[in-house]
Homo-oligomer: A and B are copies of this chain.
């Protein structure tokens, strides 16, 4: 069944297999319960109300379930909604996987791993090279699956690795232009800077902060991983090269008020901060503009101080 949400049209019937992205029970003015639902597949997201919900409904239609959804697509105030006429859990025998309904990075995990592993050869400092390889290896199962954030930027399966990959390309272009940059250090910083998010966030579906994410945070979590890696690899964590690498990660948010315990004090740390912001900004603006018609302003972008961005009309060539 290949039809997708993005293919459905306003006012027409809809009959699809989708994932329940979020389910919340509420009580209507008439005193009866209903379930406020949002559904997703890889193409889009849509919301709908399940009225007069019985206890059995409430128990089965929960976040993360795959369902057969039928109804009619309508639009109120510019937002798509489905008037639900049928809702049924998918049967395990159908062999459907949650991952089939979640947005994916433009590249597969394997493609990204190949590109990144190839580039690691360019880290021509033995300590950084060994630490980076050790940690990418240790977290490979999650690094290529996690999103880069809960909702701001690169919030899709593989988003963390894809964000890292984009920054890697920026880092390479910058290092080629400015000869004074230590590319090995910058690249090592890029590859590890957000790796702590594999511990901070629960995963690509129904992404939540873990307790470690809440109490320690991804910046310190990856710092600890570097220290542990040094011990496993027999590298002195007090070695200057190791301190440089740790500083790269600790300072990458740029400002104390953004959660970095130190501000950048290395040329490469300053650059790392800039390309992190640049790639995240481009991703957030692009995501918002994809949903914006030419001549309109986008919705407010939370991660960019609630600014709205303009989608220009086609310019003359």
**Contact (Cβ within 8 A) A265 B312:** no
- Map CB proximity to B onto A292-312 as digits: 1 under 8 Å, 0 otherwise: 000001000000110111101
Q: How far is the CA of A261 from the CA of B211 in the complex (A)?
A: 15
Q: Is A216 an interface residue (CB 8 A)?
A: yes
Bound-state CA distance A256–B307 (Å) is 13
Among B178, B227, B241, B260, contact of A261 (Cβ-Cβ < 8 Å): B260
Q: Is A80 an interface residue (CB 8 A)?
A: no
Which residues of B are found within 8 Å of A59, using beta-carbon distances?
A: none
Residue-wise interface mask of A (273-306) relative to B, using a CB-CB cutoff of 8 A (1 in contact, 0 not): 0110110011001100100000001000000110
**Binary B-proximity of A241-263 (CB < 8 A = 1, otherwise 0):** 10110110010000011111111
Q: Does A9 contact B (CB under 8 A)?
A: no
Contact call B215/A310, Cβ cutoff below 8 A: yes
Cross-chain contact A243 with B271 (CB below 8 angstroms): no
Stretch in contact with the other chain, from A12-20, A61-69, A120-128, A152-160: A120-128
Expressed in whole angstroms, the minimum distance between the Cβ of A13 and any Cβ of chain B is: 16
User: Contacts A30-B29, A240-B211: A278 and B271 contacting too (C-beta < 8 A)?
Assistant: yes
- Let me know if A214 is at the binding interface, CB within 8 A: yes
Nearest CB of B to A257, in Å:
5
A56 CB-CB contact with B under 8 Å = no
Identify A214's interface contact among B260, B278, B289, B310, CB under 8 A: B310
- Partner of A212 from the list B126, B238, B257 (CB cut-off 8 Å) is B238
Query: Which B residue's beta carbon lies closest to that of A238?
Result: B212
Binds B, one of A91-99, A135-143, A169-177: A169-177
A177 touches B166 (CB 8 A): yes
Q: How far is the CA of A239 from the CA of B183 in the complex (A)?
A: 37
- CB of A111 closer than 8 Å to a CB of B: no
Mark each residue of chain A from 209 to 244: 1 if its CB lies under 8 Å from any CB of chain B, else 0: 001101111011001100110010000011011011
Interface string of A16-38 (1 = CB under 8 A from B): 00000000111111110100000
Q: A170-B173, A184-B315, A267-B289 are in contact. List 13 more A-B contacts (CB 8 A).
A: A26-B76, A126-B317, A166-B177, A173-B173, A214-B265, A215-B244, A220-B261, A220-B262, A224-B237, A228-B231, A261-B261, A266-B310, A267-B309
- Among all A-B residue pairs, the 5 with the closest Cβ atoms: A173-B173, A215-B247, A274-B278, A261-B261, A267-B285
Q: Which residues on A are within 8 Å of B, measured CB to CB? A: 24-31, 33, 51, 76-77, 81, 83, 124-127, 166, 169-170, 173-174, 177-178, 180-182, 184-185, 211-212, 214-217, 219-220, 223-224, 227-228, 231, 237-238, 240-241, 243-244, 246-247, 250, 256-267, 270-271, 274-275, 277-278, 281-282, 285-286, 289, 297, 304-305, 307-310, 312-313, 315-317
Pick 15 A–B contacts, CB within 8 A, sort by A: A25-B77, A125-B316, A127-B316, A170-B173, A174-B278, A182-B315, A211-B243, A212-B238, A212-B243, A215-B265, A216-B246, A219-B261, A220-B261, A257-B257, A261-B261
